[in-house]
Structure 1
Amino acid sequence: MRTRRLCGLTLVVLAAHALAWQLAIGGWPALAPARAGVHRVVLLSVQARAQVPLTSSDAAAEPAHAAARARVTPAPRAGDGGALRHVPRDAQAWPVYATRAPPSASLRYALVQAGAAASSAGVAELEWRREADAFSLRLATAVGDKPPREWQSTGTFDAAGVAPLRLVEREKGRDRRTVSFDRERGVVRFSGASGAPAVAAGAQDRWSWIAQLAAIVEAGARRGQRSTHWDLQVAGLRGELERWTFRVLPTGDPPPELRRQGNELSASGNRAPALLHLLRDPEQPYDLRIEAWLSPSLHHLPAGLRMSTPPGPWSMSLWLRNS
């Protein structure tokens, strides 16, 4: 009796192993059609995909791949020609200020320029022209027997304010150097340097910053806002792209050079106009140091400018004349 039971148990175990083997290699064997009224549940075996261990480089890249798969590409915006506008990597580092561009104005200045040998006096004219969607800023200087020089910045307006497109430096009526902005691609190009570095919204050229700073301060003043400093990205004529931070200095009397011009800004003491005194400190030797006295009566265009490159001997000052 025991022998029969053992034999039966052995046959059951062998049958179970045979069935498991059949499932592993090909699934359930074909079954005869079910009779009417009989429901049969059929199990299908699905072969699992072989798992390949990740290498160290693959493992490191896997999160990036997952993020790329999950990222949704935004649709092109109208007017972009089917392509997304290039955004500079450091665009988030530059603030975008509210602006109110000053109306058109023509200002004449007494000019004093100093160098290693001596200083020279002359005149300068700042011509600012504002239209509906375009601007022109021209600064012309004449000092002693030196050839007259001028700089002309032209451009448009956008959400960040004054948006220069081209700056031209001229001497003896000939173009010497240029700075050109490609606002759609967010880059700037220089005639005197290679490459096209990225620029942020609100970037200015070597002279358009005068109008942009006036527009920023004017907008803040109308809102009753008082800031301690403003940051501008400025492209120079020699291929430099710099951060210019203008700090607000304590209010005081107008500088003596300005008071000597004999206009409404020549008063002192309690009668002195409330000029906004700003300073841009150089960030390295021979970098540009700028003092600016902005006049509310001029919609915060400068009544005075003093520029130098310490520790070098060069300096240039502009003082508003009695027109």
Structure 2
Amino acid sequence: MSEVSPPPRRWPRLLLLIALSLALHALLVDWGRRQIILPGATQEQAMTVELRPLPPPEQPVALPVPRPTQPRAAKPASRHAAPARRSEPSIEPPDEPIRETVEPIYTPAPEAPHSAPATATATATASDDGTGKTSDGKGQGTAGAAAEGGQAQSDAPGKSYQTSAPPSVLLRYDATGTKDGRASYGRGSIAWRNDGPHYSVEGKAKVLVFTVLNFTSQGDLDGNGLSPELYTEQTGFKSATNTHFNRERNVVSFSASTTTYPRRGGEQDRGSVIWQLAAIGRGDPAQFRAGAVIDMFVAGVRDGEVWRMQVQGEEDVTLPIGQLHTWHVVRMPKPGSYEDRVDIWLAPQHEWYPVRVRYTEPPSRGGDFIDLSLSGMEALPP
């Protein structure tokens, strides 16, 4: 019988080698972890050192503290400087250059009190310094700018004039002028009718076949001279407008606006004002003297104002009808106004009829004009 040999003793050695190998790997892994963590810890210490707080500033901001007080101290100086600029000379156009030719302006004093039943109420001033006061310090009647729907002053208390309305007549005119700066020619006419208690005026101006101006005025002849009731005006292709002088409510009103004025007597419209001047001249020629001033409230198509009528003096004018001796009267609007300048030449030897009338726009509206020169006249029945 054969013997079984015992197993070799290699296994305990093999197991020991494996255990030693595992122990070495464990040591290597631990050593490796420490090597990796150490740099990280060093980097954290470096970051901590770099994040130190900066030292506070040395307070340079304290230097500008007084500066805000400097503008405050300078403001009163600028406020005092503003009035100094206002005192500089004005560059606006001179007030009413027409006065250069009529100085001194004065009102003729009648030799005796007016006793005629027909008188025209108007304001005659001895002098005007541009403030709306006469030489005696009293305020004269003015028509201040009225807001839409408001009511303005229309009366101009002052001197009463003798009046005598001229007889009925048809006046024909040659019309010359400019339209948009270009010369234009045409014809015009004014039909004046006086039947005693009433009057009517109808005026037309045509260029070629176009009517550039058409107006009518009608009313009574009373103690104020001409007393209008209704004024109608149409220019170019615009719609006609009406101005009412309501006697029942004593109000002057307009179809083109809601502005109203109290009616106190003596108010005129654009068509009647010329014939009111003629009535004053016929009532007493001595009331016309060079330099005399007559103020009348005149209503237009939207509002009204006091027209200053300045008597330039006597002039000889050459017209299509011939040479005539006239009184030249000018309505000069205020500087900056959009109203027309109106020149009127009245002929005493022809019942003080207006033998020439010229309307001139201000430069702000183009400066066009229309000039009506008498070419013929025809008596009309009352």
TM-score bucket of the superposed structures, by smaller chain: 0.5 to 0.7
- What amino acid does structure 2 have at the position aligned with 1:301? Y
Q: How big is each residue's C-alpha offset from its partner over 1:1-40, in whole Å with a ceiling of 9 and x where there is no partner?
A: xxxxxxxxxxxxxxxxxxxxxxxxxxxxxxxxxxxxxxxx
Q: Which one has more relative contact order, counting CA pairs under 8 Å at least 6 apart?
A: 2
Partner of 2:16: none
Q: How big is each residue's C-alpha offset from its partner over 1:277-301, in whole Å with a ceiling of 9 and x where there is no partner?
A: 1111111323221111100122112
Partner of 1:6: none
| Local SS of the residue matching 2:278 | helix
Query: What percentage of residue pairs aligned between the two structures are identical?
Result: 29
Q: Distance in 2 between matches of 1:172 and 1:290?
A: 19
Partner of 1:220: 284
| Residues 115 and 175 of structure 1: CA distance in aligned 2, closer, same or farther (over 3 Å) | closer
TM (norm. structure 2) is 0.53
User: Of 271, 280, 286, which aligns to 2:331?
Assistant: 280
Q: Which 4+ stretches in 1 moved above 4 angstroms?
A: 170-175
| Residues 168 and 250 of structure 1: CA distance in aligned 2, closer, same or farther (over 3 Å) | closer
Partner of 1:122: 186
Q: Distance in 2 between matches of 1:95 and 1:288?
A: 26
Cα offset for 1:197?
1.5
Q: Distance in 2 between matches of 1:137 and 1:307?
A: 18
Partner of 2:322: 264
Q: How big is each residue's C-alpha offset from its partner over 1:49-96, in whole Å with a ceiling of 9 and x where there is no partner?
A: xxxxxxxxxxxxxxxxxxxxxxxxxxxxxxxxxxxxxxx966363543
Higher-Rg member (1/2) = 2
The answer on whether the counterparts of 2:197 and 2:220 sit within 8 Å (CA) in structure 1 is yes
Q: Which ranges of structure 2 fall in alignment gaps of 5 or more residues?
A: 1-151, 378-382
Q: Does 1:300 align with 2:352?
A: yes
Cα offset for 1:123?
0.5
The answer on whether the counterparts of 1:200 and 1:233 sit within 8 Å (CA) in structure 2 is no
The answer on whether the counterparts of 1:113 and 1:143 sit within 8 Å (CA) in structure 2 is no
| Local SS of the residue matching 2:164 | coil
Q: How big is each residue's C-alpha offset from its partner over 1:72-126, in whole Å with a ceiling of 9 and x where there is no partner?
A: xxxxxxxxxxxxxxxx966363543221000001000011231324121110010
Cα offset for 1:173?
11
Q: Does 1:315 align with 2:379?
A: no
1:133-172 equivalences in 2 (<5 Å): 133-147=197-211, 149-170=213-234
Q: Distance in 1 between matches of 2:236 and 2:328?
A: 34
- What amino acid does structure 1 have at the position aligned with 2:335? Q
TM (norm. structure 1) is 0.63
The answer on whether the counterparts of 1:168 and 1:175 sit within 8 Å (CA) in structure 2 is no
| Residues 292 and 172 of structure 1: CA distance in aligned 2, closer, same or farther (over 3 Å) | closer
Cα offset for 1:170?
4.3
Q: Distance in 2 between matches of 1:200 and 1:114?
A: 38
Q: CA RMSD in A?
A: 2.4
Aligned length: 221
Q: How big is each residue's C-alpha offset from its partner over 1:168-211, in whole Å with a ceiling of 9 and x where there is no partner?
A: 22479996111110134332111100032123421111111111
Partner of 2:307: 244
Partner of 1:201: 265
The answer on whether the counterparts of 1:96 and 1:202 sit within 8 Å (CA) in structure 2 is no
